[in-house]
Structure 1
Amino acid sequence: MGKDVFLSVGGTANDAQEEFVQAVETRLRAEGLVPNTVGRNTFSVDAPLKTVEYLMDRCVGTVVLALERTHFPTGTERRGGEKEKVLSNTMLATPWNQIEAAMAYSRGLPLLVIVEEGVKHEGLLEPGYDWYVQTVPLNKDYLNSTEFNGVLASWKTKVSDTKPNGNRSKEEKSIEKMSVAQLIGSLKPAQLWSAVLALCAVIGVAFSLGANLIP
């Protein structure tokens, strides 16, 4: 019986994405780890966030797999301001990657962040935090590369020293809850703004779909 890990990944849009996600799941299982994803292999009548909380509390690590969810050929950032910027060929991942990464970090779960080539690095998908961000092609052969093997081995070492949040003492959980504030305090202004925008996008989707969200 392998150790449970949380896999943050949105619903795949095409065969290439699905094949890559399956390859990541297979690799994790080969390492003795069991990937758990809401809406993929775990389903519940509860609200998505409650299900995510339940899963994370029995996991010892989190993999964030940020794939293209939204694409637009042209656009404008900070429209109408002095820092207005024209964007082109922009790819964004699901905002759930941001939410679940923050939830995992607040629980002290080791993070392994994998970002599809071309997807915009923003918020918690940016390098410079307590985890290494890998930018990868949608090619399952990359999962056998020297870089990926090295980062996976390092992350797995941290995972082996972690116990599920549900098994921790009240004192440990109390300390971990403080890390949310610590995380926000460590963000640079641009990074904090990116994370806020991602959360606003989730709220917008919730209203437009009647709050019927599926990760």
Structure 2
Amino acid sequence: MQIRRMRIPVFVSAPSPENLNPVQTASAEMIHTLVRRYKLEWRALGRSDYPNDLPLKEVLRMIRHCSGGIILGFEQFRMTGGQVRPGSPRAGTADMSFPTPWNHLEAGILYSAGLPLMIFREPDVRGGVFDVGSTEVFIHPMPTETMPKQSRDDLDSVFQNWVAKVRTHYYGD
């Protein structure tokens, strides 16, 4: 008889797969592979769990049962030549990329729950949780299929460090 080991649930904040382009899908799959490799369970609203209640209440319920969180900051909206701080002394124009607003909400909930957090962002994504110094969590570049082997090894090391914190939270050591 084979005993199936329980996986530690971690909440992943990312757009739905149908809202990702092929490069983003490949990046998400790289993270998903690491989650599986380290015997974690990828939990996400609309992927592993489907809302029985209002989405934000469902996110709160899910996070209560998780021991860590991953934020995947994929570009979901691009503004070119947009106004920033209109009417203020620091007004100007800028080209900016934004993730799903759910990344910010879910990161705030994970952070306030005291869960180990790992944040990734695409190069042009800025604002909120993706601003350097917004939390004590280091903001990692989004992994890509074309990244060098050394960067893949570095990613694995960073992931191992985060997994140790997740396991400590789960087992209460």
Which TM-score applies when normalising by structure 1?
A: 0.70
Distance 1:55 1:141 in 2: 32
Mark the CA change 1:29 to 1:141 in structure 2 (over 3 Å): closer, same or farther. Answer: farther
1:145-164 matched pairs, under 5 angstroms: 145-163=152-170
Aligned to 2:3: none
- The secondary structure found in structure 2 opposite 1:50 is helix
Aligned to 1:71: 78
Q: Indicate the RMSD between aligned Cα atoms, in angstroms.
A: 2.1
Aligned to 2:105: 99
The C-alpha deviation readout for 1:157-203, integer Å capped at 9, x for no partner, is 11111039xx9xxxxxxxxxxxxxxxxxxxxxxxxxxxxxxxxxxxx
Aligned to 2:14: 9
Distance 2:112 2:29 in 1: 27
Distance 1:38 1:82 in 2: 41
Aligned to 2:118: 112
Which amino acid letter does the alignment assign opposite residue 8 of structure 2? K
Mark the CA change 1:94 to 1:159 in structure 2 (over 3 Å): closer, same or farther. Answer: same
Which amino acid letter does the alignment assign opposite residue 112 of structure 1? M
- The secondary structure found in structure 1 opposite 2:90 is coil
Distance 1:55 1:142 in 2: 35
Q: After the TM superposition, which segments of 4 or more aligned residues of structure 1 sit over 6 Å from their partners?
A: none
Contact 1:20 1:140 in 2 (8 A): no
Aligned to 2:66: 59
Distance 2:146 2:32 in 1: 11
Distance 1:111 1:103 in 2: 11
Which amino acid letter does the alignment assign opposite residue 95 of structure 1? P
Which amino acid letter does the alignment assign opposite residue 129 of structure 2? L
Point out where structure 2 has 5 or more consecutive residues left out of the alignment: 1-5
1:150 CA drift (Å): 2.3
Aligned to 1:31: 38
Which amino acid letter does the alignment assign opposite residue 37 of structure 2? A
Distance 1:151 1:142 in 2: 16
Distance 1:137 1:150 in 2: 13
Which TM-score applies when normalising by structure 2?
A: 0.85
Aligned to 1:123: 128
- The secondary structure found in structure 1 opposite 2:140 is strand
1:50 CA drift (Å): 1.3
1:113 CA drift (Å): 0.3
The C-alpha deviation readout for 1:41-86, integer Å capped at 9, x for no partner, is 2112211111111111111000001100101221110112211021
Distance 1:139 1:117 in 2: 15
